[in-house]
Amino acid sequence: MDDILFTEEFKTNPDKYVLPSVAINNVIFGFDDNKVKVLLLRTAYAELWTLPGGFVLKEDELITAAERLLKLFTGLDSVYLKHFGVFGAVNRAEKERELFLNDQRQDNQLNYNFFLQRFVVLGYLALVQYKQVSPLSDDVRQCEWFDLESVPELTFDHNLIIETAFRELRFQLNYLPIGFNLLPEEFPLKSLQKIYETILGKKLDRGNFNRKILSYGILEKKEKYFSGAANKAPFMYSFNKEQYFNALENGLGAF
């Protein structure tokens, strides 16, 4: 059924297949080079970047639709997804409606009355391992990672949606599997600390952070990582998944 979303039939009769006035946007966070990244999309029909998203098929559960869209843009499934907000301001599409209708690249087959109506958007945040994602790009769509602090002006209210998702990430930091989903299987403690510092927006004392995170018994020490650099090689760690998720039920405590 997913294939219908890319057909001429869908362009002209979308309301036959999807819920009217309901859409989903996924805020997909990754982590690389000590920076939080967010995945953005641009299509051939718009100048501005946007969040990956789409429609809810009539037979979809909401989480099913969010998972389907996540896989479409990242190639991943079984990824952590969390609903964090609903966005439906009266004028959220006003600017885009004017731009689209004046755009000379209009697709004459597209049912603009449907696509430019007021949509209520359900926001889901996803945490993915950056290097596992091959962003979707083709003749119509272009996906790229952006540093969170370098996100440009986006279409609709998508800057607000990202800001809301990041606030949720910060508020729920000690209850979400941040490190487990954003880091590779093995990592040095400084990488885990950098994720916490980036999300919290402040520096943390390395000694205190290491002692506290190790006190939960959620990490397993691995071999040292020798990069050939002159500095002392750090030990690598991995999460004990069962103990980590058990600890998250009560929260890891403030850092």
Residue 178: exposed, middle, or buried by beta-carbon count in 10 A (0-12, 13-18, 19+)?
Answer: buried
Residues 11 and 117 in one domain: yes
Query: What CATH number has the domain bearing residue 61?
Result: 3.90.79.10
Asked if the structure places residue 62 within a domain, the reply is yes
179 within a domain of the structure (yes/no): no
Any domain includes 113: yes
Rounded to whole angstroms, the Cα distance separating 132 from 77 reads 11
Residue type, 161: I
Is the CB of residue 129 less than 8 Å from the CB of residue 75?
A: no
Residues 80 and 167 in one domain: yes
Kindly state whether residue 178 falls inside one of the protein's structural domains: no
**Of the candidates 223, 210, 216, 224, which has an alpha carbon nearest to the alpha carbon of residue 240?**
216
Which CATH number belongs to the domain containing residue 236 in this structure? 1.10.10.10
Q: Identify the pLDDT of residue 66.
A: 95
Same domain, 213 and 159: no
**Start-to-end C-alpha separation, the chain:** 46
In a domain, 180, yes or no: no
Same domain assignment for residues 114 and 149 = yes
Number of compact structural domains in the chain: 2
Host domain of residue 25: 2-171
39 sits in which H/E element: strand 35-43
Report d(CA 224, CA 222) in Å as an integer. Answer: 7
Q: Is the dihedral of CA 96, 86, 31, 195 positive or negative?
A: positive
- pLDDT truncated to tens, each residue of the chain (255 aa)? 444 555 667 777 888 888 888 999 999 999 998 899 999 998 776 778 999 998 999 989 999 999 999 998 888 888 899 999 999 888 887 777 666 666 545 555 666 677 777 889 999 999 999 999 988 777 777 899 999 999 999 988 999 999 999 999 999 999 999 999 999 999 999 999 999 999 999 999 999 999 999 999 999 998 776 555 555 678 899 999 999 999 999 998 877
pLDDT tens for each residue of 73-108: 888 888 899 999 999 888 887 777 666 666 545 555
- The verdict on 143 and 227 lying in the same domain is no
Residues 141 and 245 in one domain: no
The pTM (predicted TM-score) of the whole model is: 0.87
